[in-house]
């Protein structure tokens, strides 16, 4: 019998996974559009981070429901996401300075 | 122990270092946004998401070091908040690209443009 906490936790995990897939889909749609605008090229790197974030959330949801567990990968993928966020920030700073 | 397991053990620590670097770059970008014509609102939302991630990683490290006892399930709530903020920032930037969001231009940039126009009139 599931407690109310299990219900809330399960709903939160499913919501996070679903929203992450939506974010990944929005990111894929924005890929082409961001490349055409010069000032938007930093967002290309953020969109890659969004896709990795979707992968991370799906892995987390699979782990939460006991379908597939990768305890190490769920800590490594955020590092990759942060790498892309840092690259996007540096790119945006260069673009704002007019260097690129 | 395998490399993957060891890598997973140190991951929260280097994630925290990367987060501090990203936080510094965000603050530098916000300082630049006062002078450059940059739509900075999505970046501010991403900064808030980063702060939530810092709290989550801090709790993970404290839990691993047995400093606090908080169930691991609480991370799901933090991740939901991060996802919501990420989606909102993406959609806001998409609306800005479509031209449906009113962008606030920095006052410094407006003054410079006005000075340029004033000189051409003379």
Express each pLDDT in A28-56 by its tens digit: 777 776 667 766 778 888 888 888 888 88
- The answer to whether A69 contacts chain B (CB < 8 Å) is no
d(CA A24, CA A58): 11
d(CA B85, CA B77): 13
What pTM was estimated for this model as a whole? 0.75
Low-confidence ranges of chain B (pLDDT < 70): 1, 4, 72, 100-122
The CA distance from B121 to the nearest CA of chain A, in Å, is 27
Residues 4-33 of A with CB under 8 A from B: 5, 9, 12-13, 15-16, 19-20, 22-23, 26-27, 29-30, 33
- The answer to whether B28 contacts chain A (CB < 8 Å) is yes
Best mutation site among A25, A64, A92, A94 for testing chain B: the one with the most B CBs within 10 Å? A92
Give residue A34's pLDDT: 66
Give residue A49's pLDDT: 86
User: A49 with A81: CB under 8 angstroms?
Assistant: yes
Give residue B122's pLDDT: 41
């Amino acid at each position: 019998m599931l407690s109310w906490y299990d219900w809330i936790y399960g709903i939160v995990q499913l919501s996070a996974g679903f929203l992450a897939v939506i974010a990944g889909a929005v990111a894929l749609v924005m890929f082409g559009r961001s490349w055409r605008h010069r000032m938007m090229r930093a967002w290309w790197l953020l969109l890659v981070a969004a896709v990795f974030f979707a992968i991370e959330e799906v892995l987390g949801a699979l782990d939460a429901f006991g379908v597939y567990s990768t305890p190490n990968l769920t800590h490594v993928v955020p590092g990759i996401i942060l790498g892309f966020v840092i690259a996007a920030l540096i790119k945006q700073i260069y673009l704002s300075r007019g260097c690129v | 122990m395998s490399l993957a397991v060891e890598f997973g053990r140190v991951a929260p620590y280097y994630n925290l270092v990367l987060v501090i670097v990203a936080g510094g770059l965000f603050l530098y970008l916000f300082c630049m946004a006062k002078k450059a014509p940059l739509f900075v609102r999505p970046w501010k939302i991403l900064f808030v998401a980063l702060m939530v991630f810092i709290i989550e990683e801090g709790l993970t490290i404290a839990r691993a070091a047995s400093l606090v006892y908080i169930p691991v399930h609480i991370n799901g709530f933090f991740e939901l908040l991060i996802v919501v903020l990420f989606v909102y920032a993406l959609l806001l930037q998409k609306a800005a690209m479509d031209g449906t969001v009113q962008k606030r231009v920095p006052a410094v940039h407006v003054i410079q443009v006005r000075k340029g126009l004033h000189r051409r009139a003379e």
